[in-house]
Amino acid sequence: MPQFIDFAVLALLALWLLIPVSLLVVAGASARAGSSKSLGRAWKAGRLLTLSALVASLAVGAMLLMDAWGLPTGLPETAQPLGLYPDGLAVWMALLISLLGTVLLRFAEGYLKGDRGERRFLPWCLVVLASVMLLVFTHHLVVMLIAWVGVSVALHHLLTLYPERVEAQRAAWQKFVVSRIGDIALIAAVALLYARFGTFELPQLFAAAAAGSGGWQVEAASVALAVAALCKCAQVPMHGWLIKVMEAPTPVSALLHAGVINLGGFVWLRLFPVFDGLTLGHYLLIAVGGFTALVAVMTMLTQTSVKHALAWSTCAQMGFMLFEIGVGAYTLALAHLLAHSLYKAHSFLASGRTVRAARCERLPLAPMRQRLALALPAAALAAAVLAVFPTLVSHNPLLGALLSLAVGSTLLGMPVGTAKRKRLALFVMALGLVPLYALLHSMLAPALPSAYAPLTLTAGLLGTLMLASLVLAAGAVTLFPQAACVARWRVHFSQGLYLALPFQRAVDAIAPIHDWSRPAPLAHGLKGEWS
């Protein structure tokens, strides 16, 4: 019987590993597909593979649960020779990427059918999915590094799906340069960790890190890793390309915003146990992530097109995720990563429904006094609850404050004439955020090892500064939107405070961007119409 279990575990893990490898094979085949029939088969194969990845990841997750409940399955031991590291984080990420992959491929098959981009989309999309899976599954830093580069190279092809679009090329080349900086940073981080601990394999690495204290290499590695994450997550001032990705078809945006951009967060969630408490890298994440979150969220408020608003929102949300990592709230960062990915994938894919949602004019808001009368007690109540149960927010007063503010702010958008019954419902919904938060926290906490680092003074000060600025900005926009100076800042913020411009200009100067005149689309269209 135990032998049978061993064999089953081995088979499952082998299958798990085989899926990204098969995806790469299908990608190669689809790139060479001659007829539309064989292309159709490639679509189907890709979909089946991502779906089986979903099932296999669920099974691996079930084994982890059995392990946790005292029914040892020998999962880590079996995984080691296969090069896999199936911990909770890997399983959550695998579930996310395989679900997204399944949905995206199903969507894109219909959406891109007959489009001139279809033939290039499929192989590169499959390469992205396979690379992300390998990046998530592996226990080896070098494999992780290769997959990391693979993702960005494949993405470059997706971003230039319509190579004649100049804006698309500009975005892609900006991304290209940012990615190479990120690659170098990650290589440096891996090299420094190897120099300190003498291993590329995660289990040994964590064991060695737990045994010995840091050293300058680890501190330097944290900075390099922070730079890598900031590049991957499109943080200021290297965020310009992200805002232009609506130059590629909607499924590419969904894939990028939901499945790829968060990898900067993932490598931190993967590697944070090697750091002892908060490092210089953490502070960098707080500072840059927090600043990006602030600027991008205010910029989002000024956007007039749905995809632009979503893109700025991603930029902000990634900043916030890195901010959470920076203050050591790893579990929350994981929750944020998963939730944001699902939300943003759907928002992009369904962005055409905007018109239906705009069937009603925006209703005027209730008088400020009435809204505050609801918002302040809700926020106070939330704060009181969090003061009693600080574990809900990882003992982090910054996140506690933000959660309380969020509860209050949720009620500030109440239109005039909202009935008492509805107001009560909204009040309960807003307060419901606190238990929901707790639930999520408890669900995800087991996925990460000892995911708690106490806040240091520097981190606290940096975080407070970010939070205070956010409150200030939000307050100014809510309370005095008509004031002349607020209106002036609106102009600056609508351009993202111009922060993307220097980098954009630098890349424009060096990138091989062609102003291809469009290959006269009028002239083609005669096939078979009057035969």
Contacting another protein within 404-433 (CB under 8 A):
405-415, 417-419, 422, 425-426, 429-430, 433
Nearest residue to 237 (alpha-carbon basis) of 182, 287, 292: 292
Binding of another protein by 269 (CB under 8 A):
no
Q: What are phi and psi of 365, to 5 degrees?
A: -80, 155
Binding of another protein by 300 (CB under 8 A):
yes
How many chain residues are in contact with another protein, going by CB under 8 A? Answer: 126
Is the Cβ–Cβ distance between 218 and 190 less than 8 Å?
no
Q: How far apart are CA 472 and CA 217, in angstroms?
A: 39
Binding of another protein by 522 (CB under 8 A):
yes
Q: How far apart are CA 141 and CA 191, in angstroms?
A: 10
Per-residue interface string for the shown chain with another protein, residues 333-372, x marking contact by CB under 8 A: --xx-xxxxxx-xxx-xxxxxxxxxxxxxxx---------
Q: Which is nearer to another protein, 44 or 488 (CB)?
A: 488
Largest CA distance in the chain: 78
Nearest residue to 96 (alpha-carbon basis) of 341, 269, 313, 336: 341
One of 3, 213, 304, 517 touching another protein (CB under 8 A): 304
Burial grade of 316 (CB within 10 A; 0-12, 13-18, 19 or more): buried
With contacts defined by CB under 8 A, name the span among 139-147, 206-214, 276-284, 290-298 that binds another protein: 290-298
Task: Give Cα 356 distance to the centre of its chain.
Answer: 28
Q: Which is nearer to another protein, 154 or 335 (CB)?
A: 335
Is the Cβ–Cβ distance between 26 and 126 less than 8 Å?
yes
Question: Would you mind telling me the total number of residues written for the chain in this entry?
Answer: 531
Is the Cβ–Cβ distance between 389 and 434 less than 8 Å?
no
Burial grade of 303 (CB within 10 A; 0-12, 13-18, 19 or more): middle
Minimum gap (Å) between residue 117 Cβ and another protein: 7
Per-residue interface string for the shown chain with another protein, residues 495-514, x marking contact by CB under 8 A: x--x--x-------------
Q: Which is nearer to another protein, 223 or 392 (CB)?
A: 392
With contacts defined by CB under 8 A, name the span among 9-17, 72-80, 124-132, 485-493 that binds another protein: 485-493
Footprint of another protein on 55-84 (CB under 8 A): none
Binding of another protein by 316 (CB under 8 A):
yes
Binding of another protein by 51 (CB under 8 A):
no
Minimum gap (Å) between residue 87 Cβ and another protein: 20
Minimum gap (Å) between residue 256 Cβ and another protein: 14
Minimum gap (Å) between residue 346 Cβ and another protein: 5
Minimum gap (Å) between residue 492 Cβ and another protein: 7
Footprint of another protein on 217-256 (CB under 8 A): 243-244, 246-250
Q: Spell out a b/e string for 454-463, using b for 16 or more CB atoms within 10 Å of the CB, else e.
A: ebbeebeebb
Q: If you search the block for the tokens 């004439």, which residue do you land on?
A: 417
> For residue 178, how many other CB atoms are within 10 A of its CB?
23
Q: Which is nearer to another protein, 275 or 320 (CB)?
A: 320
Per-residue interface string for the shown chain with another protein, residues 87-126, x marking contact by CB under 8 A: ------------xx-xx--xxxxxxxxxxxx---------
Minimum gap (Å) between residue 210 Cβ and another protein: 29
Nearest residue to 263 (alpha-carbon basis) of 125, 134, 359, 417: 134
Minimum gap (Å) between residue 157 Cβ and another protein: 16
Per-residue interface string for the shown chain with another protein, residues 6-45, x marking contact by CB under 8 A: ----------------------------------------
Footprint of another protein on 142-171 (CB under 8 A): 162, 165, 167-168, 171
One of 151, 231, 298, 392 touching another protein (CB under 8 A): 298
The helix/strand/coil state of 35 is coil
Minimum gap (Å) between residue 518 Cβ and another protein: 8
Nearest residue to 184 (alpha-carbon basis) of 131, 134, 235, 231: 231
With a CB cutoff of 8 Å and minimum separation 6, the contacts of 272 are: 325, 330, 451, 453
CA dihedral 311, 313, 319, 325 (to 10 degrees): -110
Minimum gap (Å) between residue 81 Cβ and another protein: 33
What does the angle CA 175 – CA 177 – CA 182 come to, to the nearest 5 degrees? 90
